[in-house]
Amino acid sequence: MRYVAPRWLPGGNLQTIWPALYARRTDGPPPAYRRERWATPDGDFVDVDFMDAATPSAPLLVLFHGLEGSSRSHYAEAFAAFAATRGWGFAVPHFRGCSGEINRAPRAYHSGDFEEVDWMLARFAAQHTGPMLAAGVSLGGNALLRWAEEAGAEAARRVRAVASISAPLDLAAGGAAIGRGFNRLVYTRMFLATMKPKALAKLAQHPGLFDRDALLAARDLYAFDNVFTAPLHGFRDVDDYWSRGSSKPHLADIRVPTLVVNALNDPFVPAASLPRQAEVGAHVTLWQPAHGGHVGFPLGLPPGHVRGLPAHVGDWLTQHV
């Protein structure tokens, strides 16, 4: 991936924050989605936003969003616009609690949630007749990679190719990075501002589910995940969750064409934690440009746009349709 950041947006933080807030996502109006609500096997629900394909046999691109993201995240709308130019179908399955309504079961979502990804992709495969492609962004990218690792050779029977963008492949390294300095003051506060209220709503549904005082005292993602995410999803503690949920140690197990994109100046994902090509096996392609930030990769004159990343990733995926 050849990416050169605009001179007016230097550094990983600006290349992360500006695109999410101000950069153009599409050439026209925002995508017009239609929503389906799917019942889950455990009596809960997930909401899926669709943009229909030009024909029933056209490819379907499924995008798994990042932490506290949705189909209205800047990257989701940019990928929707790319899919529309190709006549593809496009779908964003929302992780539980991210579609605007709190889910019912005593669980939420997490970075290693490959079981949920597997169920979602199986549901897509059951109702779509054309080829399927899957992409994941940040948390969704790591979860998608964990699915591909666990599925092994079976993954290629479900999807033609997989792409991960700005995923924290080593959750412990990413958690440490976001818990320090500027990251802690800005990004951690931003995430906890929505995650804590959702957790408290979950506690109101299921009294005694976790320690309320410990959750309110959490000032970083390590503490939050230790109180809420890890125990709710069957992990011993946050260290167990971050270890078992990380995709980096298992990338060589992937048996479906896979693209892994990470900018070396990503504030959330330390460059030193990224894998090298020799570590990932023949099915995985690494793109590690020097710049781009976290799910940023802006282009053009101010205010810039974020259509370049979907075009690069989409062109790579197209090779495998």
- Region of 117 please: left (phi>0), alpha (psi -120 to 50) or beta: alpha
| Helix 74-86 × helix 308-318 angle, to 10° | 50
With beta carbons less than 8 A apart as the criterion, state whether 167 and 142 touch: yes
CA–CA separation, 23 and 25 (whole Å): 6
Strand order from edge to edge, sheet including 258-261: 34-39, 45-51, 89-93, 60-64, 132-137, 161-165, 258-261, 284-287
Task: Name the 3-class secondary structure at 233.
Answer: coil
With beta carbons less than 8 A apart as the criterion, state whether 261 and 1 touch: yes
Going by the DSSP 8-state scheme, the letter that residue 305 receives in this structure is B
Residue partners of 204: CB distance under 8 A and separation at least 6: none
Task: Name the 3-class secondary structure at 129.
Answer: coil
- The distance of Cα 88 from the centroid of its chain, to the nearest Å, equals 20
Residue partners of 240: CB distance under 8 A and separation at least 6: 230
**Looking at the annotation, which residues are catalytic?**
138, 266, 294
The residue among 167, 164, 123 whose CA lies nearest residue 260 is 164
